[in-house]
Amino acid sequence: MSKRSAEEHDGPQSLKAGDRPVASTTAEDGLEFEDEFEDEFESEDELIEAGVDGRPDEEREAEERASGRAMDVDRETFIPGRHKLDAGQTLAPDLTAYEMLHTLETTWPCLSIDVIKDQLGDDRKSYPATVYAVAGTQAARGHDKENQLMVMKLSGLARNDQAGNIDSDDEDEDDDEAVTDPILETKSIPLTSTTNRIRAFQCPQANSSSLPTTYTAAMQESGDVLIHDVTPYLTAFDTPGFQIPATASKPVHTIRAHGKNEGYAVDWSPLAPAGKLATGDSTGKIFLTTGRADGGGGFTTDSNAAFIGHQSSVEEIQWSPSERHVFASASSDGTVAIWDARAKARTPALSVRVSETDVNVLSWSRQTAHLLASGHDDGTWSVWDFRAWKASGNASATPAPKPVAHFDFHKEQITSVEWHPTDDSIVAVCAGDSTLTLWDLAVELDDEESRYTADVKDVPPQLLFVHYMEQVKECHWHPQIPGTVVATGGAGLGVFKTISV
């Protein structure tokens, strides 16, 4: 199973920071076209509503219906992945459903992205918004040396004034907000291989006057995992005259324990101040890399002690948000395993079969630590209370008990799943059908109001929102801008916030 796009690219499209597409015009400013259909006479006393044949529309439409000549109108709701566009048709977002919506192009598409927490404050609701992120590119075959690790600043992300939740009071409050065009600034670190997955980690700040040390771990198609200190690149965005050291582009540590075996499983522990990283590969092995406890920088990989328990590729790793030494892993063998990093045996404490297909992604709830979401290759995703999981007493995995929730809305593989950082009922899901969906697990099936789905069949009441994004691969909630989602796909980057979350 390929986790990467098989499409070839003709060549990179250059991105110029700040450049935005300009709508084409057919008339010069200040000039107007004569309306050949304009009424010759105008009356201030009488307004006549007339259709194309001089009669009111309602009268003409009633006659057409009576005669059977009325035009059939397709009122079916279009769902990407379920329905197909005809030749020449395109999809356009309903802007009234988005409080913010921006798309930005990159030189090459990115399989993976991660959001960097900044110093602009938590719970931000003002506009224009600013987002810092890191991503790794997937250059076309034959252009491997053009790959990059991109450190990005997305600024000028304005509020959408067509959003359906804007009232007059909001408009008055927004009068002082500057109207700007979105700008993508990038600082790049050269790479020679595609980045399958990238994750960022920040060490605790020594003082509030300086940026926290920020590391990235980029798992390469070549099998290496590169750890970079990207703090200088982040500093350069907002410090005029700052010069990035020439040595900053070199990795502070390279994990070679995986040999030439590529992988996708990468995660930093949120509870290890010096940094603790778990990485898994296509052979089913997992290795730990830890930072120096004295905070002096530097990492050590225990390459002689692999965690072994999966029968095939490790697709995802997630550290527990509450237990410092516990992490979970998902595999293409259909299992999810729970591990204790302190165990000398280096075997799973629990191993449970959750799908008959590959388990591609996991997400551990930050609010309810016993909930785990898994996304599968058959398009289904599930939520598990792993307190009900029990050890089998042997090496084989046990069948999982009934999940807390299970959904089969998507018809292509699940490529990303993530719990909302502050709401344990909201989940974001990406799938191979080019959709990014938002879900509210708090909606009850027997809720009379939740049964209404606008006459659309086979739509679970928990489905809040469907966002179309071409070849979407991965998404993350922004931890400081409530409800904001950052995503990457074949067509570039997307930043949006819906009126529903």
pLDDT digits (tens, 9 = 90+) for 24-74: 444 444 344 444 444 444 444 444 444 445 566 667 666 766 665 554 444
CB-based contacts of 234-239 (< 8 A; 24+ apart in sequence): 234/116, 234/132, 234/151, 235/211, 236/187, 237/132, 237/153, 237/185, 237/187
What is the reported pLDDT for 54?
55
What is the reported pLDDT for 444?
77
Q: What is the mean pLDDT of residues 146-174?
A: 81
Tell me if 375 is assigned to some domain. yes
Greater pLDDT, 397 or 396 = 397
3-state SS, residue 332: coil
Tell me if 235 is assigned to some domain. yes
Tell me if 387 is assigned to some domain. yes
Report DSSP letters for 94-131, one per residue.
-GGGEEEEEEE--SS-EEEEEEEP-SS-SS---SSEEE
Q: What is the mean pLDDT of residues 332-349?
A: 94
In a 10 Å sphere around its CB, with 0-12 CB exposed, 13-18 middle and 19+ buried, how is residue 93 labelled?
middle
Range of the domain at 303: 107-166+179-424
28-41: pLDDT as tens digits: 443 444 444 444 44
Q: How many domains does the chain have?
A: 1
Tell me if 348 is assigned to some domain. yes
| Range from 154-163, 254-263, 361-370, 390-399 carrying the lowest mean pLDDT | 390-399
Greater pLDDT, 419 or 344 = 419
Give the pLDDT band (50/70/90) at residue 87: confident
131-156: pLDDT as tens digits: 999 999 999 999 999 999 999 999 99
112-123: pLDDT as tens digits: 999 999 999 999
Tell me if 212 is assigned to some domain. yes
Tell me if 215 is assigned to some domain. yes
CATH number at residue 234: 2.130.10.10
> What predicted TM-score, i.e. pTM, was given to this entire model?
0.81
Give the pLDDT band (50/70/90) at residue 320: very high
Sheet-wide strand order for 371-376: 359-364, 371-376, 381-385, 405-407
Task: Using the predicted structure, report yes or no on whether residue 283 has a pLDDT greater than 90.
Answer: yes
Give the pLDDT band (50/70/90) at residue 396: low
240-263: pLDDT as tens digits: 999 999 999 999 999 999 999 999
Q: What is the mean pLDDT of residues 174-188?
A: 75
Among candidates 218, 245, 223, 13, which has minimal Cα distance to 106? 13
Tell me the sheet residues that pair with 385: 371
Task: Using the predicted structure, report yes or no on whether residue 415 has a pLDDT greater than 70.
Answer: yes
Tell me if 238 is assigned to some domain. yes
Q: What proportion of the chain, given as a percentage, has pLDDT over 90?
A: 64
What is the reported pLDDT for 456?
61
Tell me if 455 is assigned to some domain. no
